Amino acid sequence: MPLRSVAIINVTGYIGVDLARILLRHPEVEVTCVTGRSAAGKRLAEVFPHLSSSGLVIQSELDAPVDVVFCAMPHKASAETCEPLVAEGMKVIDVSADFRLRSRETYESWYGVEHPCPHLLDSAVYGLPELHRDRIREASLVANPGCYPTGALLAVAPALSSGIVDGDIIIDSKSGVSGAGRSLTLTTHYAECNESVAAYAVGGHRHHPEILQECRLLSDRVGELLFLPHLIPMSRGILSSCYMRLRPEWVSGTADISSRIAVLYREFYAASPFVVVVDTPPATKHVWGSNYCHVFPHYDSRTGRLLVISAIDNLVKGGAGEAVQNMNLMFGFEESSGIDQLPVFP
Question: At residue 85, what are phi and psi to the nearest 5 degrees?
Answer: -65, -45
Asked whether position 256 contacts a copy of itself by CB under 8 A, the answer is: no
Q: How far is the CB of 297 from a copy of itself (least distance, A)?
A: 11
CB–CB of 251/303 below 8 Å?
no
Which of 133, 285 has the CB closer to a copy of itself? 285
| Rounded-to-integer distance, Cα 324 and Cα 329, Å | 9
Asked about 193 being catalytic, the answer comes back as: no
Asked whether position 276 contacts a copy of itself by CB under 8 A, the answer is: yes
Asked whether position 55 contacts a copy of itself by CB under 8 A, the answer is: no
Q: Of the candidates 42, 206, 260, 285, which one interacts with a copy of itself according to CB under 8 A?
A: 285
Q: Of the candidates 59, 150, 290, 291, which one interacts with a copy of itself according to CB under 8 A?
A: 290
Q: How far is the CB of 1 from a copy of itself (least distance, A)?
A: 18
CA 76 to chain centre: 18
| 289: nearest Cα among 234, 241, 240, 328 | 234
Which of 22, 79 has the CB closer to a copy of itself? 22
Query: Positive or negative CA dihedral for 221, 172, 264, 290?
Result: positive
Q: Of the candidates 40, 57, 217, 228, which one interacts with a copy of itself according to CB under 8 A?
A: 228
Asked whether position 122 contacts a copy of itself by CB under 8 A, the answer is: no
Q: Residue 100 to residues 58, 94, 123, 162, 293: CA-CA distances in angstroms?
A: 28, 9, 11, 24, 21
Q: How far is the CB of 182 from a copy of itself (least distance, A)?
A: 7
* Start-to-end Cα distance in the chain: 37
The 75-114 contact track toward a copy of itself, x by CB under 8 A, reads: ----------------------------------------
Q: Of the candidates 55, 224, 255, 270, which one interacts with a copy of itself according to CB under 8 A?
A: 224
Question: At residue 12, what are phi and psi to the nearest 5 degrees?
Answer: -90, -5
| 324: nearest Cα among 102, 99, 25 | 25
Asked whether position 270 contacts a copy of itself by CB under 8 A, the answer is: no
Determine the residue type at 72: A
Q: How far is the CB of 55 from a copy of itself (least distance, A)?
A: 13
Q: How far is the CB of 248 from a copy of itself (least distance, A)?
A: 14
Task: Name the burial class of residue 266, with classes exposed (0-12), middle (13-18) and buried (19+) by CB atoms within 10 angstroms of its CB.
Answer: middle
Q: How far is the CB of 146 from a copy of itself (least distance, A)?
A: 18
Instruction: Find residue 231's DSSP bridge partners.
Output: 175, 198
- With residue 82 as reference, give the H or E element that holds it: helix 77-87
Task: With contacts defined by CB under 8 A, name the span among 70-78, 135-143, 152-160, 287-295 that binds a copy of itself.
Answer: 287-295
- Using only C-alpha atoms, the chain has a radius of gyration, in whole angstroms, of 20
Q: How many CB atoms lie within 10 A of CB 224?
A: 9
Q: Among the options 33, 71, 82, 147, which is catalytic?
A: 147
Asked whether position 342 contacts a copy of itself by CB under 8 A, the answer is: yes
Q: How far is the CB of 241 from a copy of itself (least distance, A)?
A: 6
Determine the residue type at 10: N
Q: How many CB atoms lie within 10 A of CB 39?
A: 20
Asked whether position 123 contacts a copy of itself by CB under 8 A, the answer is: no
Question: Which residues, 161 to 220, sit near a copy of itself by CB under 8 A?
Answer: 168, 170, 172, 174, 176-178, 182, 184-186, 188-200, 202-204
CB–CB of 14/178 below 8 Å?
yes
Question: Which residues, 299 to 318, sit near a copy of itself by CB under 8 A?
Answer: 300, 302-303, 305, 307, 309, 311
Asked whether position 298 contacts a copy of itself by CB under 8 A, the answer is: yes
Which of 10, 178 has the CB closer to a copy of itself? 178
- Catalogue the active-site residues: 147
